[in-house]
């Protein structure tokens, strides 16, 4: 069992206007984890977010949806981390990623922000040693359209793909909790490679 992950942060923007936009893929995943494991989100103003508890593979996880808007996600994550006395290595962040095809998933140990404003703020508050689960939302035709792309709602066909990706993302996090990052990464990435080669 991997007991190191104790906080899963889903990135997104609060409010109905943003709820179904691509940028909120992180919210969708932590909400699915809460649904599966009996967690209930509550507004926690002292942590600038909505927080749920969920026991996964025998470990009590905190699930966090920052209510600070994407560009200040690190503020919420840092406040809850400090309260729980966690290190960045005990945090897994789930976020949308335009550099990955729609519906593909990637687990990653650490790294830069890659132009993602939520990760940029997290890196400022946490450093870059936290774990990441990236949910592919595809690249827009023009680089300049990136912000518009993530703040738009996907079409029906794309939403079906993303809904499936949310289920697989929750599966991947469960595997991380049961077996650790490395086995979960190998399972996720080898499956992706096999699917790509069979196309």
Catalytic residue set: 23
Tell the residue number behind the tokens 């940028």, with chain if given: 23
CA distances from 80 to 7, 17, 105, 114, 189 (A): 9, 26, 26, 24, 30
| CA 53 to each of CA 20, 63, 134, 139: distance values in angstroms, whole numbers, following the listed order | 23, 6, 22, 33
H runs (alpha helix) in 1-155? 25-36, 73-84, 117-126, 146-150
Q: Is 162 helix (H, G, I), strand (E, B) or coil?
A: helix
């Amino acid at each position: 069992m991997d007991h190191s992950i104790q906080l899963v942060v889903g990135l997104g923007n609060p409010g109905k206007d943003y709820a179904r936009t691509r940028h909120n893929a992180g919210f969708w995943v932590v909400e699915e984890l809460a649904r599966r494991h009996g967690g209930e989100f509550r507004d926690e103003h002292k942590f600038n977010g909505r927080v749920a508890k969920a026991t996964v593979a025998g470990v009590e996880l905190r699930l966090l949806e920052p209510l600070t808007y994407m560009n200040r996600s690190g503020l919420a994550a840092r406040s809850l981390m400090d309260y729980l006395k966690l290190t960045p290595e005990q945090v897994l962040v789930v976020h949308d990623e335009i550099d990955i095809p729609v519906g593909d998933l990637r687990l990653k140990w650490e790294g830069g922000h890659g132009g993602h404003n939520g990760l940029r703020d997290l890196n400022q508050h946490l450093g870059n040693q936290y774990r990441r689960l990236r949910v592919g939302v595809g690249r827009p035709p023009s680089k300049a359209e990136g912000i518009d792309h993530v703040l738009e709602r996907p079409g029906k066909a794309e939403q079906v793909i993303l809904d499936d990706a949310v289920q697989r993302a929750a599966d991947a996090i469960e595997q991380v909790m049961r077996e650790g990052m490395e086995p979960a990464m190998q399972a996720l990435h080898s499956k992706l490679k096999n699917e790509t080669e069979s196309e």
